[in-house]
Structure 1
């Protein structure tokens, strides 16, 4: 824990490094400000909770985690799992889920599961991220086009059907602002300006709404101010409150009925699957981000400390109204490109958001919802990694393409947890199948005259790992011996693995050959594996079973058996 902070302090950063990190933090803060609001809205909660997440989690995780450059906060990956929680349990249920997920992340870090990202196959990651991008984009169509839909409930196909039947209700004013914002988001990067495209796009969208309101009397669109309201300690208003996050237990916040959700064993039981899902996705996202950051910055992160830091951040953030957080790849990449090299840049980015809440909250309330939807559509497109998706389909083996498409469809039609679980399970089965194909048992053509061996001696060469998947194949091959054989030699110099299933198979081979009065010589097996067999009771027996060191030694033992 605190490894990133300790390492940064030990190296005594220079004044130039501190200056670069301050400037980087300010720029990343500009990027994170509208994104945090947009992702909170997409998750089904008021926008200030996204800002509170960026403030609290951004500081806590940077100081306690294992990466010096990660920027943490609300991310698009969480949207598809947070929105259903909000719809079923309300804001209070979401914050309790995040609170529980924090403890799970800490246990994962203590349990040294920081290498978790390495066991998730690439097609699984691309499949579920592309699926998440599609789901997020689908959710934004309503606000982007101003469709008249009371609620988007049910499964994905139900939502898609509701959007389709609502298309005749398109509001041209909302669609105009959405398209305009989208155009700026797509065109502005071509100017290679240092001002973030989404900041310019939201400003242009808000400015057009304000300007067109003067010329068209009935021109009005939904904004953050018209969509959201707040009541905090007697302070009421619309949009985003100009107050800093305050401490409160997450179970004191409202559920779907508007009253405090409370805390009980039954609530914990109901929210535990959601908390586990948040923890798994948070760990994958943060560790993947850290690996990408290492490649860009040339630094090394501590994966277990990063999980612990993410856990601490997700425990503390809900106490101040923050939703689940994890490291954000886009913001982290921007931080590195701008010179960020210390946890200081993440702290500065959070401080910038604090200042923005205090000074700019009234102005932020004028941002149109159609503009926020356009921003999230771009986020969804970037997250989907369409190029990687198409490239994998073109060049990957057929089995990997199957895993990719299955994970994608399961994420869209069901949820990410099912997609990752099924994807990893299928990938594991395909890996086992491939490993089985690597294990070969074949009869060796031996020059019997050269080695002075009778034809009643046969040699089998066993290659590759012997485990529960491949051991049975070996038994089937060796069991089919001729009736005139007297000795079987197994050349096991290329056997790299021997598990319990293989040991049981070896026991069966020994028993079967002895019943047929056929001797067995096990040759060239490593000492560690011989020890495993001896522990299982497969030991040297005069005239029946012998362990040899070389092939010549095996031939000599076989002659003695005859």
Structure 2
């Protein structure tokens, strides 16, 4: 029995820790904490919760991801990918429903890690990942149009198309000053890296735009710019950990959203960890990472937080500023905690248009439009999956898109696995030049006797091989006396393959045809023996190599 694959990088990293690494981690954690602040506030508000819940998520989840995760440099916290699903859950089930769904997602993530499914999750088809990531980006942008332009609207429809219809109908209600604030935020964020790549553009934009909004209100009498304080009451106290009231009916209703959170969190965290590995030359432990993410998503909602995962942008900021161990992630959480306790009341002056500008840039960076356009040149099956996932994410919701994506992943896997196994008919003679299952080395070719058919299976014997047998066998006009199946290139056989092979043997026997197996490797032979194939075919009809199989065929014919 395999042991639990849970080896947090924090404990192995501090075993050989030194002062130089500590200084680098502290500096990186400080910068990442500052970078994470505006994003945490923006993601919290866009998700339909108060700004402090976004910061609490970054603090708690960031701490747990660094302590128990499988990557040295991963930074955990709220991300743009969760905005749509979190907002939808809150609208339907309320904050308590979100808490329960996040707790369930944490349990699912831990189970994925315990069952060692981390490696498998990384192989979800790329078109599906690009499809729903781009769809999320478009949806995030759509949700921010109202605040970006300062539109005076009583309600914003939940449906994607209805949102745009409402925006067009309210185009006359745009507030000019809010629009200037929002557009200026986008420009500042875009230009900041040209001046300094170490200073986060989102923080620069928030400081400049907030000061500008205060000056306009104080000296120009501009009162139409809505701020965080106009919409939310700011609290700078950490709430006590509380467990929500659980009921079986609520749990059943939230299984779908919880699975969506878990799958999305798993994909994003492992993708982020893989990208980080390529930069620092390390290898993360995917199963440990999933367990760490699970623990983070159990801890976060207990303190009022929202779902969290590994954040690519913050992880790269950590690496680029010298962070090399999980200590940097812990420092980032401490920095956010100090800001939360002592500076949080200042957040009430931040204009909503500025936060919308931050999220517009996030959605642009998240869209991956270059990858999206490049994938349109791929095979039609990939393009179909890409577009379907993209439009399902936009038109319906992320839960539907992820469910569809997982089904597509399974179907694509089945299709490609079935294509990997080839069944061919060999006519007249067999070339032994490259054969590994021959006994006599003095022959180059073996002639196939009249009344004998020879088939070769190349690849795993899965569900598709049986159907190919039927198609190829039907191409023969004459009924043979012996049917030889060469299995020298079959590494293993599954239960469906066994069932198909057994049916083919029984059908052949009813037609008076003897089936002879050739070149069966020891593992496959053991499986056949356990399933009574020696009794079905006769031990003498399971041969170790082709010339023995042909000799046996000659015996049967004579």
In the superposition, the TM-score normalised over structure 1's length comes to 0.90
Contact 2:491 2:524 survives alignment (8 Å): no
Q: Which moved more, 1:104-113 or 1:117-126?
A: 104-113
Counterpart check, 1:249 vs 2:242: yes
Aligned to 1:357: 340
Offset at residue 185 of structure 1 (A): 1.3
Aligned to 1:547: 542
Matches of 2:379 and 2:393 in 1, distance apart? 21
Matches of 2:230 and 2:446 in 1, distance apart? 93
Contact 1:521 1:548 survives alignment (8 Å): yes
Aligned to 1:320: 303
Aligned to 1:521: 516
Matches of 1:320 and 1:487 in 2, distance apart? 72
Matches of 1:452 and 1:348 in 2, distance apart? 74
Offset at residue 193 of structure 1 (A): 4.2
Counterpart check, 1:534 vs 2:539: no
Match runs of 1:301-380 below 5 Å: 301-380=284-363
Offset at residue 228 of structure 1 (A): 0.8
Aligned to 2:395: 413
Q: Which moved more, 1:418-427 or 1:476-485?
A: 476-485
Offset at residue 447 of structure 1 (A): 4.5
Secondary structure at the aligned position of 2:533 is classed as: coil
Contact 2:110 2:290 survives alignment (8 Å): yes
**Residues 31-54 of structure 1, C-alpha deviations (whole Å, 9 max, x = no match):** 001110000000011101111111
Offset at residue 462 of structure 1 (A): 2.9
Match runs of 1:466-481 below 5 Å: 466-478=461-473, 481=476
Q: Residues 204, 444 of structure 1: CA spacing in aligned structure 2 closer, same or farther, 3 A cutoff? A: same
Offset at residue 215 of structure 1 (A): 4.5
Match runs of 1:104-503 below 5 Å: 104-229=108-233, 240-241=234-235, 243-249=236-242, 251=244, 262-394=245-377, 396-447=378-429, 454-478=449-473, 481-483=476-478, 485-503=480-498
Q: Residues 18, 445 of structure 1: CA spacing in aligned structure 2 closer, same or farther, 3 A cutoff? A: same
Counterpart check, 1:557 vs 2:552: yes
Offset at residue 481 of structure 1 (A): 4.3
Q: Residues 545, 333 of structure 1: CA spacing in aligned structure 2 closer, same or farther, 3 A cutoff? A: same
Offset at residue 373 of structure 1 (A): 0.1
Gaps of at least 5 residues in structure 2 are: 1-5, 431-444
- The CA RMSD measured in Å over matched residues stands at 2.4
Contact 2:122 2:267 survives alignment (8 Å): no
Secondary structure at the aligned position of 1:469 is classed as: helix
Contact 1:475 1:505 survives alignment (8 Å): no
Q: Residues 267, 464 of structure 1: CA spacing in aligned structure 2 closer, same or farther, 3 A cutoff? A: closer
In the superposition, the TM-score normalised over structure 2's length comes to 0.90
Q: Which moved more, 1:264-273 or 1:60-69?
A: 264-273
Q: Residues 464, 322 of structure 1: CA spacing in aligned structure 2 closer, same or farther, 3 A cutoff? A: same
Gaps of at least 5 residues in structure 1 are: 230-239, 252-261
Contact 1:543 1:561 survives alignment (8 Å): no
**Residues 45-78 of structure 1, C-alpha deviations (whole Å, 9 max, x = no match):** 1101111111122112211222221111111111
In the alignment of these two chains, the number of paired residues is: 539
Offset at residue 488 of structure 1 (A): 2.4
